[in-house]
Structure 1
Amino acid sequence: MSTRSVVIVGAGVAGWRAARDLRGAGFEGSVTVVGDEPPYDRPPLSKQYLAGEFDDARISLYRGGEPDSLNVEVRQERVAFVRPGAVTLEGGEEVAADEVVVATGSAARRPAILDGHDILTLRTREDAQAIRAELENAESLLVLGGGFIGVEVAATARQAGLAVTIVEAQPTLLGAALGAECGERVERIHRDHGVELITGVGVERIEAADGGAVVVLADGRELTADLAVAGFGAELNLDVFDGLDLNLSNGVRCDEFGRVEGLDGVWAAGDIAAWHDPVTGEAIRREHWQVAGEQASIVARTIAGVEIVKRNPPYFWSDQFDVKVQVFGRPELADSRGWLEADDLDPESVWAFRRGENLVGVVTFGVPRLLGRFRPLVVEGLAAATA
Structure 2
Amino acid sequence: MSHEQQPESVVIVGAGVAGWRAARDLRGAGYGGTVTVIGDEAPYDRPPLSKQYLSGEYDDARISLYRGEEPASLDVTVREARAALVRPGEVALDDGETVAADAIIVATGSAARRPAMLDGHDIFTLRTREDARALRAALAEAGSLLVLGGGFIGAEVAATARTAGLAVTVVELQPTLLGGALGVECGRRIERVHREHGVELVTGVGVERLEARDGDAIVVLADGRELSADVAVAGFGAELNLEVFAGTGIDVTAGVQCDEFGRVEGLPGIWAAGDIAAWHDPVLGEPVRREHWQVAGEQASIVARTIAGGPIAKRNPPYFWSDQFDLKVQVFGRPELADREEWVSGEDVEPQSVRGHYCGEHLVAVTTFGIPRLLGQWRPQVIESLAAATAS
Q: Does 1:95 align with 2:99?
A: yes
Does the CA contact (< 8 Å) of 2:279 and 2:287 recur in 1? yes
Q: Who is 1:21 aligned against?
A: 25
The equivalent of 1:320 in structure 2 is: 324
- Of 349, 356, 361, 2:365 maps to 361
Equivalent-residue separation in structure 2 for 1:347 and 1:94 (angstroms):
55
**Aligned-partner residue type, residue 301 of structure 1:** R
Q: Which amino acid aligns with 2:91?
A: V
Aligned-pair distance for 1:121?
0.1
Deviation per CA, 1:158-215, whole angstroms, max 9, x where unpaired? 0000000000001111111111111111000000000000000000000122322011
Deviation of 1:151 after TM superposition, in Å, equals 0.3
1:224 is aligned to 228
How far the C-alpha of 1:296 sits from its partner, in A, is: 0.1
Which residue does the alignment assign to 1:281? Answer: 285
Q: 1:171 aligned to 165, 175, 178, which one?
A: 175
1:59 maps to which of 55, 60, 63? 63
8 Å CA contact retained: 2:71, 2:77: yes
- In the alignment, structure 1 segments of 5+ residues that lack a partner are none
Alignment partner of 2:262: what SS? coil
Residues of 2 paired with 1:57 and 1:206: CA distance?
A: 37
What SS does the aligned partner of 2:239 have? strand
1:237 paired residue number: 241
Residues 3 and 30 in structure 1, CA contact (< 8 A), matched pair in contact too: no
Equivalent position amino acid for 1:159 in 2: T
- The answer as to 2:209 corresponding to 1:205 is yes
Q: Which residue of the partner structure matches residue 382 of structure 1?
A: 386
Q: Determine if contact 2:352/2:371 at 8 Å carries over to the other structure.
A: no
Aligned pairs for 1:66-105 (under 5 A) are 66-105=70-109
Q: For residues 249-274 of structure 1, give each alpha carbon's deviation from its aligned partner in whole angstroms, at most 9, with x where no partner exists.
A: 11100000000000000000000000
Question: Are residues 1:159 and 2:163 paired?
Answer: yes
Q: Give, in whole Å, the separation in 2 of the partners of 1:65 and 1:367.
A: 33
Letter in 2 for 1:198: V
Instruction: Give 1:265's aligned residue.
Output: 269
Q: Which amino acid in the other structure matches residue 189 of structure 1? A: V
Q: TM-score, normalised by structure 2?
A: 0.97
Deviations 1:82-140 (A, max 9, x none): 00110000101010001000000000000001010000000000000000000000000
How many residue pairs match? The answer is: 386
Alpha-carbon distance in structure 2 between the residues aligned to 1:240 and 1:68: 27
TM-align CA RMSD: 1.3
Q: Flag structure 2 segments of 5+ consecutive residues without an equivalent.
A: none
CA distance in structure 2 between the partners assigned to 1:65 and 1:76 by the alignment: 18
State the Cα distance separating 1:320 from its structure 2 match: 1.0
Q: Residues 67 and 175 from structure 1, CA distance in 2 versus in 1: closer, same or farther, beyond 3 angstroms? A: same
1:338 aligns with 2:330: no
Identity %: 75
> Is contact 2:40–2:80 with CA below 8 Å preserved after alignment?
yes
